[in-house]
Amino acid sequence: MRGLIEGLNKNFESRIRLGIMSALMVNDKLDFNALKELLDVTDGNLASHLKALEKHEYIDVTKRFIGKKPNTTYTATKLGKQMFSKHLNALEKLIKGQ
């Protein structure tokens, strides 16, 4: 049982970050409003968690305008996908008690 939580990534401990990465793993990209609605969080709460994931280079951010409205989309990076998969594998091992 020693080292049972060793593979867990602290950056994914928050349920919101877990939700963001889960959504981005199954979608090529999602915009801010789609993530906000999907996760049922406030603008500020979502923005702070997205910024943290961006800081660690787990997500890419693309900003553009649609007409005169700003639109920000997010995608999981290769690193983000790798790290999230490792985190999920560690969770699975923890649950199975391996």
Read off the pLDDT of residues 29-45 as tens digits, 9 standing for 90 and up.
999 999 999 999 999 99
The range of the structural domain enclosing residue 16 comes to: 10-92
The separation between CA 35 and the C-alpha centre of its own chain, rounded to angstroms, equals 10
As for how many domains the chain has, the answer is 1
CATH number of the domain that residue 83 is part of = 1.10.10.10
Does residue 4 sit within a domain? no
| Cβ neighbours of 53 (radius 10 Å) | 25
Q: Is the pLDDT of residue 2 over 70?
A: no
Residue 63 lies in a domain: yes
C-alpha atoms less than 13 angstroms from C-alpha of 26 in its C-beta half-sphere: 6
Query: Does any domain span residue 1?
Result: no
pTM of the model: 0.90
